[in-house]
DNA sequence: CTGTTAGCGCTTTCAC
DNA sequence: GTGAAAGCGCTAACAG
């Protein structure tokens, strides 16, 4: 113990402890610091957490780190955490709501200072209810939480404008002269999917166009690939395809290419999210931009900052349509 | 406290505690479990860690989660951790060795059960020495560690066959009829870069070809982009370009395309790693495959499994050349 | 300003 | 088998 090395005991805690209004004579302060350095002493954060109550780990629950959407989000959360001197415990749900609930429980047991939930929001009320209950216990134990997605959970939320973005995208596409659309959607149980789909349909209606043809599948690269093949197999009169997210669009692009369908000459394609690779696909992907890293930072801020009044806060994130080369101008 | 709820006290610990040879009468066992359930009791892992010594968090230090290489690696580590009931604390170095050292220190303070280091290995001896020292302290405090990359650290290591893979790639490319090469390399301080460069040059020599033209830059997408532009600006007589990793290759591809250089018609291009997107680029990227997720799992296994004898283990990971469409067959 | 004294919640000998 | 008691290493009142 650095204590014995120095001379005093709990004084050490004051100088080595969390920066703050620690008043210690400079003489002793130096002695302690010196001793600590000599012994290579590092405070045991576990003990500190136990005694002091507040841990400096925050939990982040995502679907899959391998998906650029979540990787970017995680990057933002980690950046914000580092700025505050906190560390991030990441766990993946792989879209399994049960696993998400379990992870919240683990984080509670771990006494994480805050939990950020990203991307498994489903429409099943029973599941949502159980997750909410688990979160409630966590909060009751002094934890803070925030999530990104829809405001269905009892927590502050960063809510990307999925609906509005998709609607604006639809209108932009209509303005390019497209009249018939197909949507490669993820599983209908996913909130994001429903929002983007509804927004897109609404945008189409605004433009006086009929509802799109909709195909449901997995919300990932292979899902996009499979759906594009199905679209081709079933036949379509659409001139433009909207994939519910960019990774699906990337998969669709590959499938179309393999089948000899040229984008955008034969068929236009648009995605959603604006992950980094979407500007590097060929053709570059028209999409709806979400400031993923910023969202990550914001959601951690929300989780950590003192609650506002009674109601849960919802921070809307604007989504911006970006027209690139994958959508043909038919005019 | 579940204790009072039930009846006994430390008995609760025996039934709720870590699974094992806990002998408790089934009557009491049931009572305790019931009480725990009623109260929604969850053991405080922080306290357990303090008392019991062993935490169930493992640390993972990567360069940047946003880079698919590390995302995949992280995915593997997380999978392996989950299988063992452990959680993963991830931190990013953004290639700053100082930050890496700091993260090890933090993880030590956090009493992480194990640390996995991935991807900041540099050639600076002073830095490596300090990192080694920090690791040594961690280990002295009972921690375990393993890393992926070069075996320069006092730890078990998963070592991808960068040299061999690059050499085989060079020979394959030579077999396709290419005679003059350019390499878009990352910063020379990075171990990976040196290994891949050396391996590539060696493969060329094996084939009786001259050393390649080498350009150094950043080890990421934008680095690849910038380097490709520089290559074009400076002019080159190479018929094939080797980018030291896939994300650089993706950037290079975009730059070449923007400049009207067709791949592989005008110039061939190859990468390294085989990240998921490399099969979706246009043209699909010739590369050297590394089983990233497996590597992640293996490195955690290495870190956690009881040390073998005195020497540090080095687990070689084979790298497989994958010829796709981005490299032209000149024969 | 600085030393003493209780715990934080759990695991673990050590008796009964 | 099961209860009692002693810490794990640190922080936080509370006195000096």
Asked if residue A48 belongs to a domain, the reply is no
Asked if residue A170 belongs to a domain, the reply is yes
Of A32-36, A52-56, A157-161, B202-206, the least confident = A32-36
**Is a pLDDT exceeding 80 seen at residue A22?**
no
Average pLDDT, chain B: 93
pLDDT over 70, % of chain B: 95
CB atoms closer than 10 angstroms to residue B311:
8
CA B197 to chain centroid: 19
Asked if residue B329 belongs to a domain, the reply is no
Q: Which residues of B240-250 are buried (b: 16+ CB within 10 A; e: fewer)?
A: bbbbbbbbbbb
Asked if residue B241 belongs to a domain, the reply is yes
Of the pLDDT bands very low, low, confident and very high (cuts 50, 70, 90), residue A310 is: confident
pLDDT tens per residue across span B66-91: 999 999 999 999 999 999 999 999 99
Residues B152 and B168 in one domain: no
- A175 shares contact with chain B (CB less than 8 Å): no
Asked if residue A185 belongs to a domain, the reply is yes
Residues A231 and A282 in one domain: yes
**Is a pLDDT exceeding 70 seen at residue B136?**
yes
pLDDT tens per residue across span B210-231: 999 999 999 999 999 999 999 9
Q: Find the nucleotide nearest B111 (Cα to C1′).
A: D9
Asked if residue A216 belongs to a domain, the reply is yes
Domain count, chain A: 3
Residues B221 and B106 in one domain: no
- At B151 the pLDDT is 73
- At A3 the pLDDT is 63
**Is a pLDDT exceeding 80 seen at residue A190?**
yes
**Is a pLDDT exceeding 70 seen at residue A1?**
no
Residues B69 and B35 in one domain: no
**Is a pLDDT exceeding 80 seen at residue A321?**
yes
Residues B155 and B296 in one domain: yes
Cβ-in-10-Å burial (0-12, 13-18, 19+) of B316 comes to exposed
B50 sits within 7 Å of strand C by its CB: yes
Distance CA B273, CA A26 (A): 54
Distance CA A67, CA A86 (A): 24
- At A7 the pLDDT is 64
Residues A182 and A284 in one domain: yes
Residues B36 and B67 in one domain: no
Task: Please work out, in degrees rounded to the nearest 5, the angle formed at the alpha carbon of residue A259 by the alpha carbons of A288 and A185.
Answer: 35
Residues B194 and B245 in one domain: yes
Q: What is the domain range of residue A111?
A: 53-160+292-318
Residues B27 and B126 in one domain: no
pLDDT tens per residue across span B158-170: 999 999 999 999 9
CATH number at residue B65: 3.40.50.2300
Residues B203 and B262 in one domain: yes
The tokens of B331 are what?
Answer: 């024969």
pLDDT tens per residue across span B112-133: 999 999 987 777 889 999 999 9
Asked if residue B120 belongs to a domain, the reply is yes
Of A115-129, B251-265, B279-293, the least confident = A115-129
Residues A283 and A175 in one domain: yes
- At B134 the pLDDT is 94
Which residue in the set A89, A92, A280 is minimally distant from B89, CB to CB? Answer: A89
Chain A neighbors of B57, CB-CB under 8 A: 57, 89, 110
Which residue in the set A49, A88, A109 is minimally distant from B43, CB to CB? Answer: A109
pTM for this one?
Answer: 0.95
CA A125 → CA A122, A131, A132, B7, B233, distances in Å?
A: 8, 10, 10, 37, 59
CA B305 → CA B14, B89, B109, B143, B300, distances in Å?
A: 26, 19, 22, 12, 8
- At B86 the pLDDT is 97
Q: Which residues of A9-33 are buried (b: 16+ CB within 10 A; e: fewer)?
A: eebbbbbbeeeeeeebeeebbebbe
pLDDT tens per residue across span B234-284: 999 999 999 999 999 999 999 999 999 999 999 999 999 999 999 999 999
Residues B299 and B285 in one domain: no
Asked if residue A324 belongs to a domain, the reply is no
């Amino acid at each position: 113990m650095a204590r014995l090395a120095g001379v005093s005991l709990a004084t050490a805690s004051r100088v080595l402890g969390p920066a703050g209004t620690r008043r210690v004579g400079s003489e002793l302060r130096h002695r302690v610091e010196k001793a600590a350095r000599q012994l290579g002493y590092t405070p045991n954060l576990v003990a500190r957490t136990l005694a002091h109550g507040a841990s400096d780990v925050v939990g982040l629950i995502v679907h899959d780190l391998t998906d650029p959407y979540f990787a970017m989000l995680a990057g933002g959360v980690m950046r914000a955490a580092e700025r505050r001197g906190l560390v991030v415990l990441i766990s993946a749900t792989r879209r399994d709501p049960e696993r998400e609930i379990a992870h919240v429980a683990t984080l509670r047991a771990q006494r994480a200072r805050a939990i950020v939930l990203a991307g498994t929001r489903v429409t099943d009320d029973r599941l949502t209810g159980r997750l909410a209950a688990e979160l409630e216990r966590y909060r009751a134990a002094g934890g803070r939480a925030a999530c990104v997605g829809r405001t269905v959970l009892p927590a502050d939320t960063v809510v990307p404008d999925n609906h509005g973005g998709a609607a604006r995208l639809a209108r932009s596409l209509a303005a390019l002269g497209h009249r018939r659309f197909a949507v490669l959607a993820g599983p209908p149980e996913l909130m994001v999917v429903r929002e983007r789909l509804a927004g897109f349909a609404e945008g189409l209606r605004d433009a006086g166009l009929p509802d799109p043809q909709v195909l449901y599948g997995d919300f990932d690269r292979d899902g996009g690939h499979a759906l594009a093949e199905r679209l081709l197999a079933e036949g379509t009169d659409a001139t433009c395809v909207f994939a519910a997210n960019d990774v699906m669009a990337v998969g669709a692009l590959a499938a179309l290419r393999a089948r000899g369908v040229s984008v955008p000459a034969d068929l236009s394609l648009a995605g959603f999210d604006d992950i980094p690779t979407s500007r590097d696909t060929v053709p570059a992907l028209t999409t709806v931009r979400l400031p993923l890293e910023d969202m990550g930072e914001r959601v951690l801020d929300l989780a950590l900052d003192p609650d506002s009044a009674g109601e849960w806060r919802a921070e809307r994130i604007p989504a911006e349509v970006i027209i690139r080369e994958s959508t043909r101008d038919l005019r």
